[in-house]
Amino acid sequence: MTESLVSIRDLSIAYRGRGGTAQALREVNLDLYRDETLGLIGESGSGKTTLALAILRMLPPAAHVPQGQILYHQDGRAVDVLSLDAERLRRYRGEQVAMVFQSALSSLNPVLRIWDQFLDTARAHGETDQAKIRARTRDLLSHLQLEPERVLSAFPHELSGGMRQRVMLALALLLRPRVVVLDEPTTALDILTQRTIIDLLRSLRQEFGFSMMFISHDLSLAAELADRVATMYAGRIVEIGRTDELFYEPRHPYTVGLLQAVPTIHGDHRTLQSIPGSPPDLQRLPPGCPFHPRCPYARPACAEAEPDLLRISDGHRSACFFWDEVRGPDVGKIA
Amino acid sequence: MNWTTLKRNPGGALGLAGFLAIVLLVIVGPLVVPLDTSTRLDQIYAAPSRAHPFGTDNQGRDVFSQIVHGGKDLLWVATLAAGISTSIAVALGSISAVAGGHVDNALMTVTDVVLTVPHFPLLAVLAGVLQFRSQTLLAIILGVLSWPALTRAVRAQVLSLKERDFVEAATALGLGRGHIIVREILPNMRSYVAISFVLAMTQAIYAQVGLVFLGLVPLSGQNWGVMIQYGWTRGAIFHKSSVYSILAPIMAIVLLKLSLVSMARIFDEIFNPRLQEG
Amino acid sequence: MRNYLTQRIARAVLTIFLVVSFTFFLIRLMPGNPIDLFVHEQVTTYGYTYEQALEQARGFFALDIDAPLSVQYAQYLGNLARGDLGQSILSPGTPVSSLIKKFLPWTLFSVGLALMISFVLGIGLGMLMAYRRESWIDHVLTVIATVTTAVPNYLIGILLLVLLGVQTNLINIASIRGSLSPGVRPGLTLTFLIDALYHAALPITTYVMATAGGWMLSMKSSTLGTLGEDYVGFARARGLPDSRIAVAYVGRNALLPLFTQLTIAIGFVVGGSALIEYIFNYQGIGLVLYESIVRRDYPVMQGVFLVITVSVVLANLLADLLYGRLDPRVDLTAEPV
């Protein structure tokens, strides 16, 4: 039984907005285990970004947490992230859990040299030996296939987009966090850079042994990187399981819909189908299962109650009453 | 413009109300309140009272009536000057942005140079050399010298609008450049131009009153600037009781400026229909 | 950096040249041309012959009045190169340049100090307002800023005099006006410094009150925008302390857009010196300009106007160069829009 690093229990998060309260997360339960890569897949508005931000407690001021817990497990103790005081929270971020944002273009301070940004990070966590910091930084940058001397003395605007992405990864890994959260790591990149980043992420995880959670709307990324995948819809996890389970035997209509929208190189040519309808209004969710207005398997029962994550097998769960009828498309062989 | 816009922007609404009140006072007031020209030597620099809400000046004349009559000139000059400078700026800014290349470079260099010359000393020197005999002439000079600041901003706005889809569509449809400027771009800058007009008015007020205060413009007629000048040169500020005759016009000018500035903020909401959703 | 630098310097030089020419032609070509008026006056009022009047004019303006305009222009430029700005009509024998040398430092002192104080105050308070958005301090400061920017700076000066000196007697007006107390000699002494500051206090306060509000509001909005930037979020995600983020991540970036305002502010404050110095009887170059206009001392007026403008151009250049140092994105290819 591998140990859980982050446990999310019954977490609900809501945003106060002009039209009312939007329920971004609704009683989410999730564990991130040691030495695994978990992919959170969903459309925008599904709650995946909110979940990722919540783990670092970096929610915007308009958000509030009506219920739930986020527990971080360290040395046998469980730390309640939501009630950490300011100083401990500051240390927690970066040292234990790190986050890499989507856009590297604007994630680096334009007026500071790259070296200063590394120095800031190290100093913030009590490391003052500059030689040591320098050595570790150069080591990291080399791992990421960057020339340390050239990069460290440069300003962000002097580097290419791909280089900045890798600098951001290095900054996140500087303090050897045990968990790294990535928000859309490949979305803003061109195909070649995507490839590089994906390979880098794999090798970095091997080398440094952290657990990775990435959020994306791109299911094919999950196929490449993730050990487990969770699909999210309307603030809930609707299906979770091993990557091969989800791809070959999806048991939730939403997952099926996502799979049908992804073209594959292998396998027979299929007509792509997008999921009909549009994402739900988080301030006014439909009764029962939030997906039922767009679901090809929908039945009257679906409008009456919302299904929990029902157990299909060890580790594979689906939030659909009729999961055993759900069939996925032929996705060919995944990498 | 409707009630929700006004409610959401209380400052702006107040400004608009204040401005309208001042305009009313200044234009209609003189028809209702007669200008007190009688000299009452026994009531020099009287403190405010029921008969004289703002006290009296150095000749016993009612300050309140002077205030009522003293805003017209100021508003007229400010409006005319703002109109001239805004028109020049919009024209030059748009032309420069749309023409591009050498024309743009030349115009912008001239603009920058004129912009760098400190505004008030230039006006003071011109006032000394040219002797502005009429308010209208003053307004024209003010307007002609104020365009640079706005021109650069207009140009930047037009440049950014130029790249937008609707302009591309218009160009694709074969509509001429003039048409594009006048019918496509300018209407989208309405709020911007309105705000700039109002701010140009405040600049003109500053310059006007400053010139009058220094005595560089012939002191004709009755206006708030003149009142301040009289008060100053006759030492009205140096005595507790006489100070009202100079405070009143100062407050009037400040209120006018405040309401103009507040109004500018609400124009964005009024003229930008996209912002007017529930 | 090189290209940016040379471009800015070239622009400054061009501006100075154009202003110089403008001043020359203004004096010579305007209707009611002061030089011709002067000559006319000398002939009719004082009974000089035309040649004698011309001779006088030559002395005051350092120009050959009857030579063709282009020749005069060349002479004018030549004179400037030698620092010869003519002589004061009303104090014959006093070169304009010596008047400038005497009074300009006082203005530079008060205006420079005021701009620095105003900038620092405005930026600090502006950031505070952004960080404490919607709090009572934000509301109070916003109101203060809005009101003070709506009052013309010279009216602020008058109000200061009224409130502090007349209505309340906090300050002895008679002694604080002027730029030096009688009997105090300029020099590197503490007495001089303190006295100079005492007299510059009201003008400086006036400048600061008139401009700080603008800085506050601009910095607040710039800071609010910067707070939403990704690099601030990423910095927080790495556990950087709030103090470091405020200074190096938010502050330094929020400052940059304000520099365009700095050039406008410099021109505005220097331009207003004529009015402020008049009110406080502060013996600076602004007051000299005012007096030269009123007394029709044209060579002085011309020279002082030139110097004021050149000061503004140079100050703007300094501000531009400072910006170039602060923003590393300014580089060789910089061609400002």
Cα-based distances in Å from A43 to A46, A49, A58, A254, C72: 6, 10, 21, 10, 77
Q: What is the pLDDT of residues A133-152, one digit of tens each?
A: 999 999 999 988 899 999 99
What does DSSP say about strands A236-242 and A316-318: parallel, antiparallel, or unpaired? Answer: antiparallel
Which residues of chain A make contact with C327, given a CB cutoff of 8 A? 110-111
Q: What is the predicted pLDDT for the residue at C57?
A: 72
User: Hey, what are A166's tokens?
Assistant: 């890798």
CA distance A175 to B235: 71
Place of tokens 């340390």: A148
Q: What is the predicted pLDDT for the residue at C335?
A: 44
* Contact criterion met (CB < 8 Å) for C268 and B119: yes
Among B59-68, B181-190, C311-320, C326-335, top mean pLDDT goes to C311-320
Any A CB within 8 A of C252 CB: yes
pLDDT, average across residues C301-308: 87
More confident residue, A175 or B7: A175
CA distance B38 to chain C (A): 28
Name the DSSP class of B48. Answer: P
Across the interface, of B120, B214, B216, the residue whose CB is closest to C271 is B120
CA distance A235 to chain C (A): 23
Chain A residues within 8 Å of chain C (Cβ atoms): 56, 58, 90-95, 98-99, 101, 103, 106-112, 120-121, 124-125, 155, 157, 168, 171-172, 175
Instruction: Categorise residue A267: left if φ over 0, alpha if ψ from -120 to 50, beta otherwise.
Output: left
Tell me the average pLDDT of chain C: 82
pLDDT, average across residues A89-108: 88
| Res A256 pLDDT > 80 | yes
Q: What is the pLDDT of residues A15-47, one digit of tens each?
A: 988 778 888 999 999 999 999 999 999 888 888
pLDDT, average across residues B139-155: 84
CA distance A226 to A244: 10
Q: What is the predicted pLDDT for the residue at A327?
A: 84
Across the interface, of A93, A155, A157, the residue whose CB is closest to C238 is A93
Name the DSSP class of B56. Answer: B
CA distance A268 to C161: 88
pLDDT, average across residues C54-75: 72
CA distance A156 to A89: 27
Let me know: does A63 contact A15? Beta carbons within 8 Å: yes
pLDDT, average across residues C86-112: 84
Across the interface, of C11, C27, C274, the residue whose CB is closest to B124 is C274
pLDDT, average across residues C62-83: 74
* Contact criterion met (CB < 8 Å) for A90 and C233: no
More confident residue, C25 or A294: A294
Banded model confidence at residue A185, pLDDT cuts 50, 70, 90: confident
Name the DSSP class of A102. Answer: S
Any A CB within 8 A of C234 CB: yes
Bridge partners (DSSP) listed for residue A310: A318
User: Hey, what are C117's tokens?
Assistant: 């104080």
Amino acid identity, position A67: Q
pLDDT, average across residues C76-85: 77
Amino acid identity, position B7: K
Which residues of chain A make contact with C328, given a CB cutoff of 8 A? 110-111, 155, 157
Which residues of chain A make contact with C241, given a CB cutoff of 8 A? 90, 124
| Res C168 pLDDT > 50 | yes
Chain C residue with minimum CA distance to A120: C240
Across the interface, of A95, A107, A124, the residue whose CB is closest to C241 is A124
Chain A residue with minimum CA distance to C245: A120
| Res C337 pLDDT > 50 | no
CA distance A220 to C333: 41
* Contact criterion met (CB < 8 Å) for B120 and C274: yes
CA distance C155 to C153: 5
What does DSSP say about strands A316-318 and A97-100: parallel, antiparallel, or unpaired? Answer: unpaired
Q: What is the pLDDT of residues A70-79, one digit of tens each?
A: 999 988 889 9
* Contact criterion met (CB < 8 Å) for C240 and A106: no
| Res B1 pLDDT > 60 | no
Let me know: does A99 contact A183? Beta carbons within 8 Å: yes
Q: What is the predicted pLDDT for the residue at B102?
A: 84
More confident residue, C204 or B60: C204
Beta strands in C64-212 (DSSP E): none
CA distance B189 to B90: 10
Q: Which of C299, C290, C292, C328 is nearest to C93 (CA)?
A: C299
Residue C151 sits at the vertex; the CA angle it makes with C148 and C156, to the nearest 5 degrees, is 85
Helical packing angle, A161-173 and A114-124, nearest 10°: 20
DSSP letter string over C10-43?
A: HHHHHHHHHHHHHHHHHHHHSTT-HHHHHHHHHH
* Cβ within 8 Å of residue A154, ≥6 positions away: A113, A114
Q: Which of C150, B225, B278 is nearest to A20 (CA)?
A: B278
Chain A residue with minimum CA distance to C252: A111
* Cβ within 8 Å of residue A308, ≥6 positions away: A319
Which residues of chain B make contact with C286, given a CB cutoff of 8 A? 121
CA distance A7 to A69: 8
More confident residue, A212 or B11: A212
Bridge partners (DSSP) listed for residue A7: A31, A71
Let me know: does A68 contact A11? Beta carbons within 8 Å: yes
CA distance A33 to A35: 6
Number of H helices, E strands in chain C: 15, 0
Place of tokens 């509509």: B175
Handedness of CA A45, A46, A47, A48 (dihedral sign): negative
* φ, ψ of residue A30 in degrees (nearest 5): -160, 145
Place of tokens 């028809």: B31
Among A52-61, B56-65, B99-108, top mean pLDDT goes to A52-61
Name the DSSP class of B182. Answer: I
* Sheet of strand A63-74: strand arrangement: A21-33, A4-16, A63-74, A77-80
Q: Which of A265, A268, B218, A270 is nearest to A256 (CA)?
A: A270
Across the interface, of C235, C238, C253, the residue whose CB is closest to A111 is C253
Bridge partners (DSSP) listed for residue A67: A12
CA distance C262 to chain A (A): 20
User: Hey, what are C326's tokens?
Assistant: 């602060």
CA distance A226 to A219: 10
Beta strands in chain C (DSSP E): none
| H helices present in A153-291, as ranges | 161-173, 191-208, 219-225, 243-248, 253-260
* Contact criterion met (CB < 8 Å) for A109 and C233: no
Q: Which of B202, B200, B224, B219 is nearest to B127 (CA)?
A: B219
Across the interface, of C231, C239, C252, the residue whose CB is closest to A94 is C239
* φ, ψ of residue B239 in degrees (nearest 5): -130, 140
* Contact criterion met (CB < 8 Å) for C305 and B125: yes
Cα-based distances in Å from C61 to C72, C106, C224, C320: 10, 25, 54, 34
Q: What is the pLDDT of residues B206-254, one digit of tens each?
A: 998 999 898 888 766 678 888 888 888 877 777 777 777 788 888 889 9
Q: Which of C238, C240, C259 to mutate to test the interface with A (most CBs of A within 10 A)?
A: C238
Residue A5, burial from CB neighbour count under 10 angstroms (0-12, 13-18, 19+): buried
| Res B271 pLDDT > 80 | no
CA distance C175 to C181: 7
Q: Which of A7, B118, B266 is nearest to C266 (CA)?
A: B118
Q: What is the predicted pLDDT for the residue at A122?
A: 93
More confident residue, A96 or C324: A96
* Contact criterion met (CB < 8 Å) for A112 and C248: yes
* Contact criterion met (CB < 8 Å) for B250 and C155: yes
More confident residue, C149 or B46: C149
Tell me the average pLDDT of chain B: 78
Across the interface, of C240, C327, C328, the residue whose CB is closest to A124 is C240
Q: Which of A109, A125, A173 to mutate to test the interface with C (most CBs of C within 10 A)?
A: A109
Chain-centroid distance of CA B26 in Å reads 15
Any A CB within 8 A of C236 CB: yes
Q: What is the predicted pLDDT for the residue at C332?
A: 43
| Res A271 pLDDT > 70 | no
What count of other Cβ atoms lies within 10 Å of the Cβ of residue C29? 9
Place of tokens 């506050």: C216
Q: What is the predicted pLDDT for the residue at A213?
A: 94
Bridge partners (DSSP) listed for residue A9: A69
Q: What is the predicted pLDDT for the residue at B269?
A: 63
User: Hey, what are A156's tokens?
Assistant: 């962000």
Q: What is the predicted pLDDT for the residue at C334?
A: 43
* Cβ within 8 Å of residue A12, ≥6 positions away: A23, A25, A26, A27, A28, A65, A66, A67, A68
| Res B2 pLDDT > 70 | no
Amino acid identity, position B261: V
Q: Give the SS3 label for residue A27.
A: strand
Let me know: does C128 contact C246? Beta carbons within 8 Å: no
In this prediction the pTM is 0.84
Chains that touch B (3 or more CB pairs under 8 A): C
Which residues of chain C make contact with B150, given a CB cutoff of 8 A? none
Q: What is the predicted pLDDT for the residue at C176?
A: 67
* Contact criterion met (CB < 8 Å) for C253 and A109: yes
Q: What is the pLDDT of residues C177-207, one digit of tens each?
A: 776 766 666 777 777 888 888 888 889 999 9
CA distance C238 to A32: 20
Q: What is the predicted pLDDT for the residue at A116?
A: 94
Tell me the average pLDDT of chain A: 88
Which residues of chain C make contact with B243, given a CB cutoff of 8 A? 162, 166-167
CA distance A247 to A223: 8
Q: Which of C66, C298, C285 is nearest to B129 (CA)?
A: C298
Place of tokens 């005081």: A85
Across the interface, of B116, B209, B237, the residue whose CB is closest to C267 is B116
pLDDT, average across residues C226-251: 92
Across the interface, of A58, A109, A155, the residue whose CB is closest to C237 is A58
* φ, ψ of residue A239 in degrees (nearest 5): -155, 140
Banded model confidence at residue B160, pLDDT cuts 50, 70, 90: confident
CA distance A186 to C316: 44
* Contact criterion met (CB < 8 Å) for C296 and B228: no
Bridge partners (DSSP) listed for residue A38: A213, A228
pLDDT, average across residues C12-27: 80
* Contact criterion met (CB < 8 Å) for C234 and A171: yes
Which residues of chain A make contact with C239, given a CB cutoff of 8 A? 90-95, 121, 124-125
